[in-house]
Every structure is written in structure tokens, then in C-alpha cells.
Chains A and B, each alone.
Chain A
Amino acid sequence: MTGKFLLPGKFLAVAAWAAYTIFFVRVVAHVALWFKRPWRGAAAGMPPEDVKLKLPVLPVIAPAALEALFLRRLLKANPVLWIGEWVFHMSFVLVLLRHLRYFLTPVPEFIWRMQLPGRIAGYIMPFSLLYIIIVKAVAGKSRYAFGYNYFLLVTLLLISGLGVLMSTVFHPNIVAVKEYMMSALRLKAAASVAAAWSLPGGLPFLAHFTLALVLLVYLPTHIFAAPFTLYEAKKREKTLGRILHD
């Protein structure tokens, strides 16, 4: 098996480095573009907004964090879709935490504790994605539906589906997978050279990991931009009453 997957293993290791680089450069480029413009006010030629609309950070950040955690704005807008989205986002976080064991040595205690919840979340995730796809497809005729969203959903569905299959049917050698991740992806010669270049887990792992890299490259920007806009929206909500009521 190891010999058979030596070439894909090399290819995937290089692809992973490329995907990491693209992701990093993409995030940096976006953030750099943000900082090219004045942070507040209506930009070009306009001074900052009225001081009375300023608020300390702490009283806003907690409710904004809750809003992000429970996707409350989506709940208000579309409770039917919200169920699927919230379950998906929560299970995605748990699965990510579970996967940290492949990248960290020693594995922190809390990551060990996340293994069972992460495993359960991994089983739930494909169903939540399927539910979202169905809800969107049913509403799609009357609403805005963009191919990119379906591409992401289908990619995630395939990744999570393969994950479930590996956990229940194929059972790849976890130790070998970790060795591969540690040596090939972290550019760390912790394990043998062979481990860095040979791919464990066969085809399911190859597909699972390749799709994860595709997802990383095409990761939607709202993942890192939305926390800011949710915070700003909460602040606006809290200061709206102050504009004419002082």
C-alpha cells in the first residue's frame, strides 16, 4: 500500500504546502486591502462619524459573540435553514478540534476530550449538509442561489462523507496518518523520510485530504470577515436609539 501511494503522497504533500501558502497569502492580501482605507467613516473625503455613536468594546463583544455562536441573525431570517446551518457550523468546529490530534504533539488534554464529541459531530455533519442543500434547492427557484455555495456544500459533504467512511469502514492506520501529517505537512523531519512521502490510508484518505485542500483554497471569506460585521451590527443596534434620543 505504501509503495502504491508513494507518488500521490509526494504530490499531496506538495499540494498541501501550496494550499497552505495560497490560503495564507489570500488572507493577508484581503487584510492588507482592508487596511489601505480609513477604518471608520464614509471614507474618501469624509471625517469620522459622530463620537456619540462610539461604544466601549466589552458591552458589545459578548452579545456579538453569542450572535455569532448561535447564528442568531440567520435564526431570525430563516429558522428552517438555521437548524441545518447551526448544526453544520457546530459540528464543523468539533470535527476540526478532533482533527487537531493529527497536527499536535503532544496532544493537549482538551483535544483528547474532544474526540468523542468530534466523532459524533462527524456523523451528524453530512446529514446537516444534506439538509442545507435540500432546503436551498427547494427555495432556490424563488431565491438567489449561486453555484459557488453549492460547490462548497458539495465539497464539504464529500469530505465529511469520506470521513464517516474512514471511521466506520476503511479504518486507515491512524498512527501512519499522523506520521504523514507531522512530517510532510509541518515540514518537520520528525519521522522518517518515507513517512513524509508515502500516503497512508489509501484512496479514501487521498480523496478526503485532497478535497480538504480544495476547500482551504476556496474557503469563503465570510469565515474571517463575518465576526467583525456581526460585532459592528450589534454596536449599531445598540447605538441606534442614541442618534435622536440623547
Chain B
Amino acid sequence: MPESESFTRCLSAGQLVELDACARCGECLKYCPVQEVTSDKSISPPEKIRLFREFIANTEGLKSKFFGPGKIDRRLLEDFAKAVYECTTCGACGQACTVGIFTQRLWPMLRREMVRRGLGPFGSQRETPAAVEKTGNPYGKPAGERFSSWLPAGLKIAGRAKLGYYAGCTGAYEAQPMVRGDVEVLGKIGEPFTMLDAEEEACCGFPLFITGQFELLEGLVKRLVDAYARRGVETLVCSCPCCVNMMSRDWPPFYGAKLPFRIRHITQYVAAALDGGRLRISGGTGETLIYHDPCYLSRGVGITEEPRSILRRIPGANLLEFDRHGAQSRCCGAGGAARKVFHDNAIAIARLSIDEARRKGAHRLVLSCPACYSKVGEAMAGYGENERHIRIVDIMELLSGVI
């Protein structure tokens, strides 16, 4: 693709206005987790916006109209692409943005432009489309093993039901205690629920969307939505914040119509079951807990209260908060499909949360996202034997032990 090719094809008008709105105040840097561990200003949000504006000015700006497109240094483009992919897309910069730029949506679109120009994605992200196409998951793991290692034997799964459960790839392959906790809690509530077969429950599309690789998305989304509709699902429950975000925000446009069912995060469904007396907590814990808000759950779809309402109901539990919590939460480091490509950043970011939790005296760090679960668990494993460890636990894993 020639360098003079437009840089704005993947952006909406609103996003072009957002690029113009950046005041370069730099306030977002205080909240950027990648900045926190790298201190590299060249990959900061305002610098990315400034560079992208320069690319646009070079190809579609006034000067280019009069004097022809300017030359863009290939190395600069490559560095920009790396900066865009090094981001965890947590959206903390947008939450803090003094002019309200929706960065959690802007970065994936800039990534898409980089894909179009052959400058992205990076590392293992490049294999994601082929892996999803072949195995139904971004990790390239056998589809037949999706549920086998964690789905409790004897758990009743209905062929057709109003309630559907989607496990998600990261939960199924990399955070099994979390999804096991999900189905155990659902089983205890007692409402019949259905699941797709292991070969049928494919990737929700988030890893493709977030890395800017859109080609398979429409087919993937239509196949999944139709499969749940055929099973009579009216409410689809999922515990993965990235999947829930993708389903609620992006499935409708890719499906081309309103979804024939509602999407709910599992904490919403379980909190309602506790409220309605359909689920009772019989045990308790004398531990101090600290809950980490996943970015795509809190900033992404506004779920912050339900997980806390569940944790507060556990007898004896003392619930702490991170300094930055709710919509202001700090990324765990695993977001934006960057955790495997920029592994060191991800581990360093995860440790910021672990260290804060330890400092505050928490016994358990409660998570509600399989990517966080996997990465924070990995970061925890790297601490020395003499350092005080803190237990990483998923909210449903914790709850399944006290019901």
C-alpha cells in the first residue's frame, strides 16, 4: 500500500473529531499502565494521537492538497504501530481524558488501520485469525478439549433453555478454576441452562477485534448468535469481561440486527439470584479480600456494583478497595491482546496491583476476568519464596466454595 493512502478509512467522523480534540495536556499519562512501567513517552496516548494527526496531515491535510502528499518515514510508521499494539487498551487514559476522548474504542481502530497497511499485528497476534478459523479459539488448542478439563461431570446442561452460558476461550483454556466456579454457581441456582457443544462454542471475536483483524468477525458472530437463538436462549451469561463487552457492544453491528437475547455478566445474574433468594451462602470466610475491577467490565460496560454486592454478602469477609477502583481501576496488564506479545510489561503492570493488595493487607486478590486471572497468577508465581504471597481467586471460584 502506498504511504500516501488515506489514514482515515478505519475511523468514524467522531473519532476524527476526537483526534483534533486532544489538547496534549498529558493528564492521561498519570493513569496509563504502560507509562507506569516503561516511562516511554513516545508510546503515550497524546504522542500517538499527535503522530497519527501528522500522518493524516501528510496524506489528507491542506499542505498535501496543495503540494502533494508528504513522505512518511517508514521507521516512524513502524514505531507508531508498535506503540499502538503495546497499549493494553484498558481505556484509563480515556476515563481521565480532560476532553473525553473514547480511547478504548479509538485504539482498536488505529490498530485496524495498521493491519490494513501491513504494519500490525505483532507476534502471536498474527496467528489469531488462522487459529480461530481452525480451532475456534485464539490459542490454537483443540476444540474438543474446550470443556473437558474443567466442566464437572454430572452437571446438568439443557439442550434448550432460556438461560445460556458462554465459557469463553481464555476461561476454558487458561483460567479453568474460574469457569468451573461459574457453572458450579449456576448449577446451584438451579435454573436450567444450556451451553453450545465444545466444537460449536467458538471465540467471541474479541481477540480479532482488539488486534484490528476484522475479516472473520461477521461470520463468527452470526454463527454464534444463531446457535444460541436455536437453543431458545433469552439471556446469555458470561464471566469474561472482554467477551461481554464484545457481545453487548459489537455483536449487534456485526450481526446486523438487535440480538435475539440479552447479554449479562455472571455477577449480575448471581447478584440477582442472591437478592431473590434463589441462591444462599452457607459458608463464610474470615479473610480480607480486595476486588480488582476488570477494565472491560467497569469502564467497558459499567459493571462495578454487582461483584461488590456478592462479596459483601460472604459472612466474615472484609472487603478492601484499591486506591483506583470502579471506573478508575488500574489495568492488570493483560488487556488488549498485549499480554503475550509484551509479556514483561504485562507482568510488571500485574505486580503493581499485587503489591498494592499486599500492602493493604489483603489475603485474597479477587478477580473477575480470565485474562486478569491468568496474567496476575503468572505474575504472582514470580515472587520469591520469602515474599508474602497473596491468593489469587476468581469471584465465582470463591463463591462456589461458600454455597
Name A residues whose Cβ lies closer than 8 Å to a Cβ of B. 25-26, 29-30, 33-51, 71, 73-74, 76-78, 81, 143-146, 148-149, 220-222, 224-226, 228-230, 232-234, 236, 240-241, 243-246
Structural contact, B20 and A221, CB atoms closer than 8 A: yes
| Cβ-based interface call for B27 (8 A) | yes
Residues 288-314 of chain B: 1 if any A CB is under 8 Å from the residue's CB, otherwise 0? 000000000000011100000000000
- Bound CA span A71–B116, Å: 37
Return chain B residues, CB-CB under 8 Å to A41: 12, 253
B23 — nearest CB in chain A belongs to which residue?
Answer: A222
On whether the beta carbons of B8 and A33 are closer than 8 Å, the reply is yes
How far is A49 from B22 in the complex, measured between Cα atoms in Å? 24
Minimum CB–CB distance from B376 to chain A (whole Å) comes to: 24
CA distance A44 to B112 in the complex (A): 10
Q: Are A232 and B14 neighbours in the complex by a CB distance under 8 Å?
A: yes
Shortest beta-carbon distance, B279 to chain A, in Å? 19
Contacts A42-B105, A71-B98, A225-B17 known; A144 to B26 CB distance under 8 Å?
yes
A46 CA to B221 CA, complexed, in Å? 13
CB pair B214 A35 closer than 8 Å: no
7 closest cross-chain pairs (CB), A and B: A233-B100, A144-B26, A225-B20, A225-B21, A240-B302, A221-B20, A229-B21
A50 touching B100, Cβ below 8 Å: no
Known contacts A221-B21, A222-B23, A244-B301; 8 additional CB pairs below 8 A are: A29-B65, A34-B20, A38-B12, A144-B46, A146-B50, A225-B21, A228-B14, A244-B268
Would you give the 0/1 interface string for B102-127, flagging 1 where the beta carbon is closer than 8 Å to chain A? 10010001001000000000000000
Q: Is B391 interfacial (CB 8 A cutoff)?
A: no
**How many angstroms between the C-alpha atoms of A10 and B228 in the bound complex?**
75
Residues in A with CB closer than 8 Å to B46 are 144, 146
Central interface residue in A40, A46, A220, by most chain B CB within 10 Å? A46
In the complex, the answer to whether A43 meets B10 with C-beta atoms within 8 Å is yes
CA distance A88 to B100 in the complex (A): 20
Q: A73-B100, A222-B20, A228-B21 are in contact. Are A44 and B9 (CB under 8 A)?
A: yes
**B278: Cβ under 8 A from any A Cβ:** no
Cα A234 to Cα B105 with chains together (Å): 16
Tell whether B97 is near chain A: CB-to-CB under 8 Å.
yes
Q: Are B253 and A243 in contact (CB under 8 A)?
A: no
Least Cβ–Cβ distance between B145 and chain A, in angstroms: 30
Q: Is the CB of A37 within 8 A of B13?
A: yes
Give the docked Cα–Cα distance between A114 and B44 (Å). 41
Chain B neighbourhood of A30, CB < 8 A: 20
Tell me whether B265 is interfacial, beta carbon within 8 Å: yes
Chain A residue nearest in CB terms to B46: A144
Q: Which residue of A lies closest to B96 (CB)?
A: A77
A50 to B302, CA, bound (A): 16
Closest Cβ of chain B to A54, distance in Å, is 13
Residues of A within 8 A of B262 (CB): 246
**A50-B258, A244-B265 known; A43+B9 contact, CB < 8 A:** yes
In angstroms, how far is the closest chain B Cβ from the Cβ of A34? 5
B44 / chain A contacts, CB cutoff of 8 Å: 144
Instruction: Say whether B41 faces chain A, with CB atoms less than 8 Å apart.
Output: yes
Shortest beta-carbon distance from B116 to chain A in Å? 9
Task: Using A37-B12, A220-B23 as known contacts, say yes or no to A50 and B249 having CB atoms under 8 A apart.
Answer: yes
Contacts of A233 in B (CB 8 A): 97, 99-102
Residues B98 and A73 in contact, CB atoms below 8 Å apart: yes
- When chains A and B are docked, how far (Å) is the Cα of A97 from the Cα of B356? 50
Complex Cα distance, B16 from A39, in Å, reads 10
Report A-chain residues with C-beta under 8 Å of the C-beta of B26. 143-146
- Bound together, the chains give a CA A207 to CA B393 distance in angstroms of 66
Q: Complex formed: what's the CA distance from A233 to B253 in Å?
A: 21
Cβ of B244 under 8 Å from chain A:
yes
B60 at the interface (CB under 8 A from A): yes
| Bound CA span A225–B98, Å | 13
Quick one: CB contact mask for B153-164 with A, threshold 8 Å, 1 for yes?
A: 000000000000
Whether the Cβ atoms of B14 and A39 lie closer than 8 Å is: yes
> Quick check: is B25 within 8 A (CB to CB) of the other chain?
yes
Q: Can you report 26 residue pairs joining A to B where beta carbons are below 8 Å apart?
A: A25-B62, A33-B56, A35-B13, A37-B12, A37-B15, A43-B10, A44-B10, A50-B248, A74-B25, A77-B98, A143-B26, A143-B29, A144-B29, A144-B47, A222-B22, A222-B99, A225-B17, A225-B18, A225-B21, A229-B17, A229-B99, A230-B100, A232-B100, A236-B102, A244-B244, A246-B262
CA of A134 to CA of B101 in the docked complex: distance in angstroms? Answer: 26
**For B258, what are the chain A residues with a Cβ–Cβ distance below 8 Å?**
50-51
